[in-house]
Chain A
């Protein structure tokens, strides 16, 4: 397996100036993500996990420290369309069909028409939405909409997929199903995934690396390398190994809270 570094953050800090004084969203965060990693960021609200992801995506500018994405700055990586970003809400355009929504980034990036068609069909198959191309978003369930938004992020073949609580608004059953599909997709496409979540089982089930964060100031309290195999059926969640990792994550979250 190739072990080139995809994302490297060193002593990254980000302070927001607000009316109530400065908020330390990130403080001295250092992390290395290798190619093909599935990295989850877990922690309570305000721990900076989303901010960290947004810094990688060049949606926020760090106050100090250094970060590279694919060896270049996040701004250059964004310009090179190095990553696909999946937001908490699907954010599909209601006036475009599912196919039209997936075609949107391809239009922006100037792909040719036959290539657009080919890619739309391919990613729709990838997220199990074949045949839904002509449907409008409101005709799909929440889980299907989120799958379409993942397809949209995959359409232009970025090596990195950044996901900000993509399944946060979905119910447990749909979530389990999508987690399973996401793992299969990650296995097939060999992408590097950054995944923000609130859920311990979700983080442990999906990740090769779990980054535990805590708030005020936002920082990393623990980085756990998963010992679970790459192949993960849903019932792996009942194994002692899984529970042990989950336990360590919970411990990490608790230590983070000991300050307040």
Chain B
């Protein structure tokens, strides 16, 4: 455990150091401006002369003012980890979960769409895979469409799904879940087709020698053999579900959810809000993938396979 911890810790420290360093050139223009307003002597001394210069040049010419102001701006181009984590703390621990400004409230909105979309996508993916494995017609006709479906940019498709579903009276959670499902069923189909086909011909012949029914072959051989493939797909699918749910929140006018926070943040130049929503989404994905990994470990262990 400690041996695994060390490289992870090194990576985190490296990222944080890099992050702080990157803030200097990224926020240099604004920092120099703030320093100038505070009465410091800066070079060049007019904003118009500075516009064409790169962040690195400004940092080189005004090292002290930039380092003084770049790490603590209100609306930095690149907010620092300390600012993002302060925002995260403020919007989770300090706010009531029912508040519109609580990130937990927004996360829950997105999470509920993610989970519903993930469940729908998994079930749909598994059913489609069963159809493809058992029916040659489906194998030849459906599989190309499944692949084609993923080549359409979801950003282009999402508004249309929302408009169409709105026309039939569906709004809120369901359209987002359907967009989320659209992304998540794909890895499940691909993984399950492979998994259900993983038994060897010899094992299928063996079932025939016992005069097993199709159902028995499915439940006792194909399905258990596909479980490792299923879990690998589910991990990809849950992350895709989250992306789908966030994308689904963008065209709805940014009312609530992590996607809404991202969009509102970009409308009003609230970079800290964007970054905190981003980190929250990443954290959510990590927790969900980890959870599936845990269930996978338990299930496979009970099945006797490691």
Tell me if B94 is interfacial: C-beta within 8 Å of chain A: no
Q: In the complex, what distance in Å separates the CA atom of A78 from the CA atom of B211?
A: 6
Question: Could you mark each residue 198-212 of chain B with 1 if its beta carbon is under 8 Å from any beta carbon of chain A, else 0?
Answer: 001011011111111
A93 and B224 within 8 A (CB): yes
Q: Is the interface of B mostly helix, strand, loop or mixed?
A: helix
Q: In the complex, what distance in Å separates the CA atom of A57 from the CA atom of B210?
A: 10
A91 and B200 within 8 A (CB): yes
Tell me if B166 is interfacial: C-beta within 8 Å of chain A: no
Q: Mark out the residues of chain A between 37 and 62 whose CB falls within 8 Å of any chain B CB in the assembled complex.
A: 57-59
Tell me if B168 is interfacial: C-beta within 8 Å of chain A: no
Q: Mark out the residues of chain B between 26 and 45 whose CB falls within 8 Å of any chain A CB in the assembled complex.
A: none
Chain B residues, CB < 8 A from A89 = 202
Q: Mark out the residues of chain B between 203 and 227 whose CB falls within 8 Å of any chain A CB in the assembled complex.
A: 203, 205-212, 216, 220-221, 224-225, 227
Q: In the complex, what distance in Å separates the CA atom of A108 from the CA atom of B200?
A: 19
A96 and B304 within 8 A (CB): yes
Tell me if B4 is interfacial: C-beta within 8 Å of chain A: no
Chain B residues, CB < 8 A from A104 = 220
B208 and A78 within 8 A (CB): yes
Q: In the complex, what distance in Å separates the CA atom of A156 from the CA atom of B212?
A: 13
A to B contact number (C-beta, < 8 Å):
52
Tell me if B152 is interfacial: C-beta within 8 Å of chain A: no
Tell me if A205 is interfacial: C-beta within 8 Å of chain B: no
Chain A min CB distance to B117 (Å): 30
Q: In the complex, what distance in Å separates the CA atom of A83 from the CA atom of B210?
A: 9
A59 and B208 within 8 A (CB): yes
A83 and B216 within 8 A (CB): no
Chain B min CB distance to A138 (Å): 8
Q: In the complex, what distance in Å separates the CA atom of A40 from the CA atom of B209?
A: 20
Question: Could you mark each residue 89-106 of chain A with 1 if its beta carbon is under 8 Å from any beta carbon of chain B, else 0?
Answer: 101011111000000110
**How many interface residues does A have (CB within 8 Å)?**
25
Chain B residues, CB < 8 A from A83 = 209
Of the candidates B202, B203, B210, the one whose C-beta lies within 8 Å of that of A105 is B210
Chain A min CB distance to B296 (Å): 13
A95 and B205 within 8 A (CB): no
Q: Mark out the residues of chain A between 110 and 149 whose CB falls within 8 Å of any chain B CB in the assembled complex.
A: 136
Of the candidates A79, A81, A85, A136, the one whose C-beta lies within 8 Å of that of B206 is A85
Chain A residues, CB < 8 A from B303 = 95
Tell me if A107 is interfacial: C-beta within 8 Å of chain B: yes
Q: Is the interface of A mostly helix, strand, loop or mixed?
A: loop
Q: In the complex, what distance in Å separates the CA atom of A89 from the CA atom of B203?
A: 10
A108 and B209 within 8 A (CB): no
Chain B residues, CB < 8 A from A81 = 210-211
Chain A residues, CB < 8 A from B203 = 91, 93
Question: Could you mark each residue 150-181 of chain A with 1 if its beta carbon is under 8 Å from any beta carbon of chain B, else 0?
Answer: 00000010000000000000000000000000
Chain B min CB distance to A223 (Å): 26
Chain B residues, CB < 8 A from A58 = 208
B206 and A87 within 8 A (CB): yes
Q: In the complex, what distance in Å separates the CA atom of A81 from the CA atom of B205?
A: 14
Chain B residues, CB < 8 A from A3 = none
Q: In the complex, what distance in Å separates the CA atom of A85 from the CA atom of B212?
A: 14
Chain A min CB distance to B88 (Å): 42
A136 and B304 within 8 A (CB): yes
Q: In the complex, what distance in Å separates the CA atom of A136 from the CA atom of B210?
A: 22
Q: In the complex, what distance in Å separates the CA atom of A109 from the CA atom of B209?
A: 11
Chain A residues, CB < 8 A from B225 = 93, 95
Q: Please judge, given known A-B contacts A78-B208, A85-B209, A91-B202, whether A107 and B305 are in contact too, CB under 8 Å.
A: no
Chain B min CB distance to A104 (Å): 7
Chain A min CB distance to B14 (Å): 40
Q: In the complex, what distance in Å separates the CA atom of A84 from the CA atom of B210?
A: 8
Chain A residues, CB < 8 A from B227 = 95
Q: In the complex, what distance in Å separates the CA atom of A96 from the CA atom of B206?
A: 16
Chain B residues, CB < 8 A from A94 = 304-305
Q: In the complex, what distance in Å separates the CA atom of A108 from the CA atom of B209?
A: 11
A79 and B211 within 8 A (CB): yes
Q: In the complex, what distance in Å separates the CA atom of A83 from the CA atom of B208?
A: 12
Chain A min CB distance to B10 (Å): 36
Chain B residues, CB < 8 A from A85 = 205-206, 209
Chain B min CB distance to A255 (Å): 32
Chain B min CB distance to A132 (Å): 14
Q: In the complex, what distance in Å separates the CA atom of A42 from the CA atom of B210?
A: 26
Chain A residues, CB < 8 A from B216 = 108
Give the nearest-CB partner of A89 in chain B.
B202
A95 and B209 within 8 A (CB): no
B209 and A57 within 8 A (CB): yes
Question: Could you mark each residue 116-154 of chain B with 1 if its beta carbon is under 8 Å from any beta carbon of chain A, else 0?
Answer: 000000000000000000000000000000000000000
Q: Which residues of B contact A (CB under 8 A)?
A: 200, 202-203, 205-212, 216, 220-221, 224-225, 227, 303-305
4 shortest interchain CB distances as A-B pairs: A95-B303, A85-B209, A136-B304, A105-B210
Interchain Cβ contacts under 8 Å between A and B, 11 examples: A58-B208, A79-B211, A87-B202, A88-B202, A89-B202, A91-B203, A93-B203, A97-B304, A107-B220, A108-B212, A108-B216
